[in-house]
Amino acid sequence: VEMVYSLLSMLGAHNKEDMSRKLLLMSSSKETCVAMRQTGCLPLLVQLLHGNEKDSSSSEEETNLIRETVRQTRRQASLALHNIVHSHPDDKRGRREARVLRLLEQLREYCDNLRDADTSIASQSTY
């Protein structure tokens, strides 16, 4: 019950980095993973993983800082989702979820690599 209240109070927070960090900490035990799944935490984690990173700043340093913060938030949300999905490896649904999650992780890693390569090329081409 305490876990549910903690999760609900955290949902009111607007800082996605803090939210992903707390969710990762909460996903450290099998019992809390079950509670997080039951309270509907999976859509929140997916939203943190695939949310937009809007760059409204003008300086390159601020833009890089925002990108790194977004990347850290996504990494923490990904680990929390990984913990929740892998807390049920025994049943058929859990194994299927783990396979789908692994494919999505590979796809996200590939997209991040493409984004990094594109950013690297763009920064080298400015004279």
pLDDT at position 53: 63
Q: Are 97 and 89 a contacting pair, CB within 8 Å?
A: no
Q: Which two tokens stand for residue 58?
A: 């003008």
Q: Are 98 and 89 in contact (CB under 8 A)?
A: yes
Residue 23: CB atoms within 10 A of its CB come to: 24
Domain coordinates in residue numbering, the chain: 2-125
The model carries a pTM of: 0.76
Distance CA(70)–CA(55), nearest Å, equals 11
pLDDT in 10s for each residue of the chain, 127 residues: 465 556 656 666 568 888 888 889 989 998 889 888 888 888 888 888 887 666 555 577 777 788 888 889 999 999 999 999 988 767 888 889 889 999 988 998 898 888 888 877 777 765 5
HSE-CB at 64 with a 13 A cutoff on CA atoms is 7
> Diameter of the chain by CA atoms?
58
pLDDT at 56: 55
